[in-house]
Amino acid sequence: MAGFIAPEALPSQPRAAHAQIPAARVGWGFVTLLALAYAGTWLALLTPVLVTVALRVRELAPDTAAASLSLVFGIGACFALVGNPVFGRLSDRTVSRFGMRRPWMLGGMLAGSGALLLIALAPNVGVVLIGWCLAQLAFNAVLATVVAVLPDHVPPEQRGTVAGVLGMCMPVGQVGGTFLVQTVAGSTLMMFMAPAVIGSVAVLLLVLRLPDRRLQPGEVEPFDPREWVRSLYIDPRRHPDFAWTWLSRFLFVTGTAFLSTYQPFFLIDKLGHSAASVPGLIFTSTLVQATMIVVASPVSGRLSDALSRRKPFVVGAAAAYATGLWLIAASDTFTTFLVGVAVTGVGQGVYFAVDLALVTQLLPNRQRDAAKDLGLFNIANALPQSVAPAIAPAILALSGGDYVWLFIVAGGIAFLGSVAILPLRTVR
């Protein structure tokens, strides 16, 4: 494929796994396939988060839907916490003629698709919980290895631009997923499996074309359980900027988790819409948010590269997202709700584009542990999926079931994500 990767970056022989910082700029063919794989993974993972798991839980346990959904997402997020760094670490140490990343990408998508099939056929919430835990493990293995391609192949001066493109992938997956659910709404099986199949094909395209790094047997250290466990911890005192960036991402994503998890209930209980209309309404809101992200993400990523600045973009983006959540809290119609969603879209687009480029410059050991370190960082993406459902019932109980207060608190948490970036010293 012309333009897949710059000619000087193509390996003529197996590349050492502990490679130096890539110098050659990647081509747009490479960026396109990487983006398709990333979007496909989010399509398979986020469609259940946004729509289908909530509807399935409501179908199986209508009287305890909110509590059951919190249980499923909360426990499932714990498995995501494990999956991302562990599979990232395994990928960094994988000896295979197919490379370090590709086996985990393909295997993870196949396993995740099987887990979604289990949820679609589940007879009760307990089986839904098991299926979702397996899906979180599998899809987080894919995310850990796909994101590791960025520091593996993209030079630092191009990462803002490429990360800006990747920043569009999550909303594209969201829009694609909610659209697919609308078109196959009459079939529970298809609502789960259509996104999984399309996502798997997208990842397969990257797997077939990726000039993956290959680790030679002599480069793998003997397995030491204690060292392996220690490697899953990064000392914040030795790497304070990485720690602050992790905290910022955790706080920001916690704010987003309230919206993604409780949007269906907000539309039903606060704005008075019927359950049957929720898939269409979520598609509309997701489309609005995605449009803003698709506009903001590549522009901010490219501008961040041009100015050689990361911090101002991340700080402003988190503050913008918080403002959007507060506008949602104040909404009393679907139209005003969409205004708040649009503002969150701008904040999310800028934040994820520039913050991803930022963290690749702060990895403690890019040469040896890129996937593992990114996996540890991605705990900040997964942990909020457990934290938000854990604290949401308490907020709702204290507020008498008022979703306004739920989103006011969510906005405050997201705003703290902007404050956490301010202490960074090694990146401007």
Residue 371 lies in a domain: yes
In this prediction, residue 94 carries a pLDDT of 79
Residue 321 lies in a domain: yes
Residue 229 lies in a domain: no
pLDDT band at residue 297 using 50, 70 and 90 as cut-offs: confident
In this prediction, residue 23 carries a pLDDT of 55
Q: Which domain holds residue 142?
A: 25-216+237-419
3-class SS of residue 226: helix
Distance, CA of 362 to CA of 302 (rounded, Å): 19
Question: Mean pLDDT, the chain, as a whole number?
Answer: 84
Is the pLDDT at 410 greater than 70, yes or no? yes
Is the pLDDT at 2 greater than 60, yes or no? no
Report pLDDT digits (tens) over 335-368. 999 999 999 999 999 998 888 888 877 777 666 6
**Closest to 384 in 3D by CA, of 290, 286, 249:** 249
Report pLDDT digits (tens) over 381-395. 777 877 888 888 899
In this prediction, residue 81 carries a pLDDT of 80
Residue 427 lies in a domain: no
Report pLDDT digits (tens) over 224-281. 666 666 666 677 787 788 888 889 999 999 999 899 888 888 898 888 888 888 878 9
Angstrom distances, CA of residue 9 to CA of 147, 152, 285 = 18, 11, 41
What is the mean predicted confidence (pLDDT) over 96-110?
90
Residues whose CB is less than 8 angstroms from the CB of residue 395 and which lie 6 or more positions away in sequence, other chains included: 405, 406, 409
296, two tokens:
């903001």
Report helix angle 403-419 to 384-398, nearest 10: 140
Is the pLDDT at 7 greater than 60, yes or no? no
In this prediction, residue 356 carries a pLDDT of 80
What is the mean predicted confidence (pLDDT) over 117-132?
95
What does pTM read for this prediction? 0.74
In this prediction, residue 268 carries a pLDDT of 86
pLDDT band at residue 125 using 50, 70 and 90 as cut-offs: very high
Report pLDDT digits (tens) over 142-197. 998 998 888 888 887 788 888 888 888 887 887 888 888 888 878 889 999 999 99
Q: What is the DSSP string of 68-80?
A: HHHHHHHHHHHHH
Distance, CA of 159 to CA of 358 (rounded, Å): 9
Residue 197 lies in a domain: yes
Residue 271 lies in a domain: yes
Residue 96 lies in a domain: yes
List the CATH number of the domain containing 260.
1.20.1250.20
Residues whose CB is less than 8 angstroms from the CB of residue 37 and which lie 6 or more positions away in sequence, other chains included: 105, 146, 202, 203, 205, 206, 207
Report pLDDT digits (tens) over 33-49. 999 999 999 999 999 98
What is the mean predicted confidence (pLDDT) over 320-335?
94
Task: Tell me how many domains the chain contains.
Answer: 1
pLDDT band at residue 14 using 50, 70 and 90 as cut-offs: very low
3-class SS of residue 247: helix
* Cα distance between the two ends of the chain: 36
Report helix angle 188-209 to 125-153, nearest 10: 20
